[in-house]
Amino acid sequence: MSEQATPTEPSGVGLVESQTVELFTAARPLALDSGASLGPVTLAYETYGELNAAHTNAVLICHALSGDAHVAGLHAGDERPGWWDGFIGPGRAIDTNHHFVLCSNVIGGCSGSTGPASIDPTTGKPYGLHFPMVTVADMVRAQAALLDHLGIRRLRSVIGGSVGGMQALQWALDFPERVESCVIIAATGRLSAQNIAFNAVSRQAIMTDPEFFDGRYQEHDAVPRRGLAVARMMAHITYLSEEGLQDKFGRALQDREHLSYGFDPDFAVESYLAYQGSKFVQRFDANTYLYFTKAMDYFDPFPDDPTATAALAPVECDFFVCSFSSDWRFQSSRSKELVRLLLRHRKHVAYQEFASSQGHDSFLLDVPAYKATLKTFLDRRAGILQ
């Protein structure tokens, strides 16, 4: 989802273009947590605003599972703005009058960055499931190489929602000298067993599709559409709340006055989920979905107290952690666990839970108090507010 600008809002960033850069090569590959290496590695990215002369005003946005580098503005000929368009631009929450904003599609992605759909130089065919497993930390190391390429040594802030929040936390841990502040939105320090279970079922839906071909579906000119659509439908339910679904759909019928007494969709909510699944299949790679959900499962930077002590010792950035009242995928209680851990290790932390009936998707939407608080936090980093 992406919030649309209203006439009373400041204007956005306008027309934008994605860029790509090769950051690692076969001779100088990216070392991965799994012990494998990956090269060449290309990242797709977008930027908004101007980098100041001292290169000290950069704000990095980390995207969630289904996101990409196109955070704001419009691509030429496209009617749909970036996925966080209402948050980024002159005068907006992430004010491009004062911040240089950038976002990259993560490694393993399918929107211009090297991932399972990319060509394996050793075979001349798409990697498929021969693509090495990547972790959140691997994604962050690739982003750090992008900042090096752009001449940015320190970030004013790193911001992420959902899995992007995991990346933001990883940034603070792995590159403490490069992060001034860290905003973690609707995220957690590790997935619960329930979340791992949701991811496992999503992967099974994809991998048992007859058109999956053990991940080599591109070679067969096929797409595991049914499996990927079902995975997205199930995940989408977890991004919403019972209250939000009831308010939006209730038991309303879709394009009919009476029950069909068959297995075609009767209810509006069924049609809505089918639409979300089919739309997702058109833009997202099934193997990327597998890899990204596995990276989420593996994320656990603090498996015990001694590791937390060691990991957090060099961290000096200011944290802002926020959650949403109706989010049951990444509950507020999980955000509070992370806040307590950070406070126990004497880190500077602000926390707020925002009221919203839109579930996990709230972090993408126009929740006024949330946007205003985020703007205040970032404006203070820019010296606009004292």
Active site (annotated) includes residue 162: yes
Q: Pairing between strand 318-324 and 157-161?
A: unpaired
Q: Distance between alpha carbon 224 and the CA centroid of its chain, in Å? A: 23
Q: Whose CA is closest to 82, among 97, 61, 100?
A: 61
Are 64 and 161 in contact, with CB atoms under 8 Å apart? yes
Task: Read off the tokens for 58.
Answer: 């950069």
Q: Whose CA is closest to 143, among 51, 45, 226, 57?
A: 45
Q: Which of 95, 138, 209, 327 is catalytic?
A: 327
Q: Which of 66, 157, 162, 202 is catalytic?
A: 162
Active site (annotated) includes residue 327: yes
Q: Pairing between strand 19-24 and 41-48?
A: antiparallel
Active site (annotated) includes residue 258: no
Q: What is the largest CA-CA distance in the chain?
A: 67
Q: Which of 157, 360, 361, 362 is catalytic?
A: 360
258: how many CB neighbours lie within 10 A of its CB? 7
For 351, half-sphere exposure in the C-beta direction (CA atoms, 13 angstrom radius) is: 19
Are 104 and 139 in contact, with CB atoms under 8 Å apart? no
Q: Pairing between strand 37-38 and 30-31?
A: antiparallel
Instruction: Report how far residue 27's alpha carbon sits from residue 6's, in angstroms, rounded to the nearest whole number.
Output: 49
Please identify every residue annotated as catalytic.
Answer: 162, 327, 360
